[in-house]
């Protein structure tokens, strides 16, 4: 039988558990993330720093910026007309006239110029300019996609940071409890078998901490790949507070999403492509003129005009293709809008579900704390055993882990909603591209 002094050990045990500041884990995701971040003695890293690094160093963005320069060069080339052609021809210089006394050999110097009709040059230049602007929009779409990836990776790391903070607290608590048990066993107040159980609790908490560290390294490697690096170390992360508006406000923000905003330029490009196809159906006019020399001293003027007859090929296939693409742009834009709206609505519904789950877990954690206190009092009164107290502690630990995990999932759901509607990249990421590309 344990003595009354031995019965005070669970009270110390419970005091340690309650010192984990249970109320600090019952708030919103933001405060919990902030507390865990503040507990890490490192310089904090913010989301804006990671976004700036990805926007400046991602290799694909360099290629998209180069693509805009390539289209600028193509627009320059498309605005240039054909060069004139100078030709010199000789006739009968090795024919029958070479075997007679008469000189019949003739020479002609001629300058020819192709004259594109149908305003093809200007329309081709405009088409290249619209393609350059579409390359700019492709760049903005990719910025949005990369921004979403960074936001999500940042939220995952914040969630892991909070879980690691809890794991560290549980390890310290289990170690302190084990030390108390060792003193009690040495004093003959507890059976030695309880030490094995406390050692198992320490090992389980340490294993969970190692698992979280490995997961964090994997997340860091995935994040570093976005700027082409291999970093596996990162300072503590600053808290993230998305501050989401109402669903209707988010729906209104979809209009400025680059995947939708690009469609005005897409429509203009398709019309320009149709105009170019029609212009290519108009044959080029070739005008040439020059001088013809006939020995001994005869000179004459030469003038010719050439015009292809588009009987079989008037570029009708390309015209029909461009016409169909131009007619279909509204349906394609509507489909894009429906996809964005569907994703936003689904993400918002998931967010509400996570809010509900977090409320349920918050209540369960509160009840687990009350259960822990009740088990402590019952044991102090001699009405229950040590295993009941340990079971109550395990329940509390399990629920706290679930609560912290739910906080991370809630933050991820908030980020998913945010990245579905809001422009993520700063204006600085577009400079000087706006001045170079957009009219």
- Provide DSSP, 28-54: -HHHHHHHHHHTS-S--B-HHHHHHHH
Burial of 127 (0-12, 13-18, 19+ CB in 10 A): buried
> How far is it, in rounded angstroms, from Cα 66 to Cα 63?
5
> How big is the chain by its Cα radius of gyration, in Å?
39
Q: What letter does residue 255 receive in the DSSP assignment?
A: G
Domain boundaries, the chain: 4-437
Return the C-alpha torsion angle 346, 350, 352, 358, nearest 10: 180
Specify the fold of 4-437. Answer: Outer membrane efflux proteins (OEP) (1.20.1600)
Which residue from 429, 386, 426, 399 is spatially nearest to 8, judged by alpha carbons?
386
pLDDT band of 431, cuts 50, 70, 90:
low
Q: Which residues contact 57 (CB under 8 A, 6 or more apart)?
A: 227, 228, 229
pLDDT at 102 over 90: no
User: 30-70 pLDDT, tens per residue?
Assistant: 434 333 333 333 357 788 888 888 888 888 888 899 999 99
> How far is it, in rounded angstroms, from Cα 65 to Cα 144?
15
Tokens of 276: 């170019």
> How far is it, in rounded angstroms, from Cα 285 to Cα 194?
101
Tell which wins on pLDDT, 245 or 29: 245
User: 358-417 pLDDT, tens per residue?
Assistant: 999 999 999 998 988 888 788 777 777 677 777 887 888 889 999 999 999 999 999 999
Distances (CA, A) of 158 to 147, 219, 261, 410: 16, 11, 32, 12
Write down the pLDDT at residue 422. Answer: 82
CB atoms within 10 A of CB 306: 12
User: 192-222 pLDDT, tens per residue?
Assistant: 887 888 888 899 999 999 999 999 888 888 8
> How far is it, in rounded angstroms, from Cα 381 to Cα 302?
124
- 302 with 130: CB under 8 angstroms? no
- Residues 298-319 have a mean pLDDT of 89
> How far is it, in rounded angstroms, from Cα 186 to Cα 209?
30
Tell me whether the omega of the peptide bond preceding residue 263 falls within 30 degrees of 0, making it cis: no
> How far is it, in rounded angstroms, from Cα 68 to Cα 141?
14
- Helix, strand or coil, per DSSP, at residue 55: helix
Q: What letter does residue 356 receive in the DSSP assignment?
A: H
């Amino acid at each position: 039988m344990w003595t009354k002094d031995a019965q005070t050990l669970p009270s110390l045990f419970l005091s340690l558990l309650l010192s984990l500041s249970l109320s600090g884990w019952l708030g919103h995701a933001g405060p919990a993330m902030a507390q865990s971040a503040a507990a890490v003695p490192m310089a904090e890293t913010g989301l804006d720093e990671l976004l700036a690094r990805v926007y400046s160093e991602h290799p694909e963005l360099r290629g998209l910026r180069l693509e805009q320069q390539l289209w600028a060069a193509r627009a320059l080339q498309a605005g240039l007309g054909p060069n004139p052609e100078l030709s010199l021809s000789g006739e009968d210089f090795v024919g029958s006239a070479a075997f007679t006394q008469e000189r019949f050999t003739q020479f002609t110097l001629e300058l020819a110029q192709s004259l594109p009709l149908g305003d093809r040059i200007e329309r081709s230049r405009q088409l290249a300019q619209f393609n350059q602007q579409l390359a700019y929009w492709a760049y903005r779409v990719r910025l949005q996609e990369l921004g979403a990836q960074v936001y999500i990776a940042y939220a995952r790391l914040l969630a892991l940071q909070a879980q690691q903070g809890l794991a560290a607290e549980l390890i310290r608590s289990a170690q302190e409890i084990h030390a108390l048990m060792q003193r009690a066993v040495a004093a003959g107040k507890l059976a030695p078998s309880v030490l094995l159980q406390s050692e198992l609790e320490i090992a389980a908490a340490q294993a969970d901490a190692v698992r979280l560290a490995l997961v964090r390294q994997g997340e860091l490697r995935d994040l570093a790949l976005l700027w082409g690096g291999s970093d596996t170390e990162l300072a503590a992360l600053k808290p993230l507070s998305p501050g989401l508006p109402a669903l209707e406000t988010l729906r209104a923000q979809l209009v400025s999403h680059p995947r939708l905003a690009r469609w005005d330029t897409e429509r203009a490009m398709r019309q320009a492509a149709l105009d170019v196809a029609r212009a290519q159906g108009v044959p080029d006019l070739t005008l040439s003129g020059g001088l013809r020399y006939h020995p001994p001293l005869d000179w004459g003027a030469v003038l010719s005009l050439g015009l292809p007859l588009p009987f079989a090929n008037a570029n009708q296939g390309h015209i029909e293709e461009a016409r169909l693409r131009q007619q279909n742009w509204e349906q394609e834009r509507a489909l894009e809008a429906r996809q964005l709206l569907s994703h936003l609505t689904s993400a918002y519904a998931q967010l509400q579900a996570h809010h509900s789950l977090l409320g349920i877990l918050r209540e369960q954690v509160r009840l687990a704390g009350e259960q822990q206190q009740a088990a402590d009092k019952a044991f102090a009164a001699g009405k229950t055993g040590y295993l009941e107290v340990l079971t109550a502690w395990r329940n509390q630990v399990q629920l706290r882990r679930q609560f912290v995990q739910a906080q991370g999932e809630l933050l991820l759901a908030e980020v998913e909603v945010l990245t579905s509607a809001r422009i993520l990249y700063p204006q600085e990421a577009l400079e000087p591209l706006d001045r170079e590309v957009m009219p």
